[in-house]
């Protein structure tokens, strides 16, 4: 369970976290199992935890006035899931987060994370890299949504995160890309012919 998190920290911090420091990490994080379709966060609630996914798949989405889901994030093993704004500002979330597969997560509060950042250099280094990667990913996502065609968005997802295409239903992939399931089906058929 915690081995995946240790490997993640070692990779992002570019150094090995000490046993003493990792003991602090283990004390701060809580393990939780989430069943498929079970909520981690519901719209209107404050996101009290951010979660490291050690096993499974999750999605973050909103529901519009017509009941349509708008997926903004997908997550699988070794990814983090949570509503960043709600987590940091302690404001009600605009999103739902649920498990798409039975999932094992390691959860930490913002307060505990800030303590770890102050006490464990490897955590601070990891968070800095994560913040940079998050900013870059969001910029790419915004650019794709305003500049790319539906086919280009699909091809970019296929190139950058191919595992997502295997783990999530096509309706969720379509929502994540901001296109209809029919458009996604047509794109996939056209690409298969090419």
The predicted-structure confidence for 104-157, as pLDDT tens digits, reads as follows 999 999 999 999 999 999 999 999 999 999 999 999 999 999 999 999 999 999
Does residue 66 sit in the same domain as residue 92? yes
Side-by-side strand order, sheet with 49-55: 30-34, 103-109, 49-55, 80-81
Does residue 117 sit in the same domain as residue 182? no
Q: What percent of the chain has pLDDT over 70?
A: 100
pLDDT for res 14: 86
Does residue 66 sit in the same domain as residue 19? yes
What is the C-alpha separation between 10 and 17, in angstroms, rounded? 6
How many structural domains comprise the chain? 2
Does residue 44 sit in the same domain as residue 111? yes
For residue 181, is pLDDT > 90?
yes
Does residue 158 sit in the same domain as residue 137? no
Q: Which residue has the tokens 């913002």?
A: 110
Tens digit of each residue's pLDDT (9 = 90 or more) over 84-108: 999 999 999 999 999 999 999 999 9
Question: 3-class SS at 83?
Answer: coil
Contact by Cβ (8 Å): 156, 144: yes
Mean pLDDT of the chain: 95
pTM of the model: 0.92
For the chain, the first-to-last Cα distance in angstroms comes to: 42
CATH code: domain of residue 83: 2.60.120.10
Does residue 136 sit in the same domain as residue 153? no
Side-by-side strand order, sheet with 96-99: 39-41, 96-99, 57-63, 69-76
pLDDT for res 194: 76
Does residue 76 sit in the same domain as residue 159? no
Question: 3-class SS at 16?
Answer: coil
For residue 15, is pLDDT > 90?
no
Residue-wise DSSP of 97-112: EEESS-EEEEEEEHHH
For residue 1, is pLDDT > 90?
no
CA 90 from centroid of its chain's CA atoms: 19
Does residue 142 sit in the same domain as residue 153? no
Domain coverage including residue 193? 148-194
pLDDT for res 81: 98
Of 191, 161, 180, which is closest to residue 73 (Cα–Cα)? 161
Does residue 72 sit in the same domain as residue 120? yes
Confidence of residue 193 (pLDDT cuts 50, 70, 90): confident
Q: Which residue has the tokens 């699988």?
A: 76
Does residue 121 sit in the same domain as residue 95? yes
**Mean of the pLDDT values across residues 159-173?**
96
Confidence of residue 54 (pLDDT cuts 50, 70, 90): very high
Compute φ and ψ for 167, nearest 5 degrees.
-100, -25
pLDDT for res 114: 96
Does residue 139 sit in the same domain as residue 161? no
Does residue 95 sit in the same domain as residue 167? no
């Amino acid at each position: 369970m915690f081995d995946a998190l240790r490997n993640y920290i070692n990779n992002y911090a570019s150094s090995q976290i000490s046993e003493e420091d990792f003991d602090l990490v283990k004390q701060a994080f809580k393990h939780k199992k989430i069943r498929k379709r079970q909520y981690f966060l519901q719209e209107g609630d404050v996101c009290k935890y951010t979660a490291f996914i050690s096993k499974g798949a999750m999605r973050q989405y909103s529901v519009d006035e017509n009941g349509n889901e708008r997926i903004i994030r997908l997550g699988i093993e070794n990814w983090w899931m949570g509503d960043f704004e709600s987590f940091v500002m302690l404001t009600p979330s605009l999103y739902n987060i649920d498990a798409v597969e039975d999932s094992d997560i390691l959860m930490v509060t913002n307060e505990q994370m800030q303590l770890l950042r102050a006490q464990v250099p490897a955590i601070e280094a990891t968070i800095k890299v994560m913040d940079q990667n998050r900013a870059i990913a969001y910029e790419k996502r915004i650019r794709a949504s305003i500049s790319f065609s539906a086919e280009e968005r699909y091809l970019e997802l296929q190139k950058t995160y191919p595992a997502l295409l295997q783990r999530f239903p096509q309706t969720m992939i379509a929502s994540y890309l901001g296109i209809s399931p029919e458009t996604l089906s047509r794109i996939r058929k056209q690409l298969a012919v090419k």
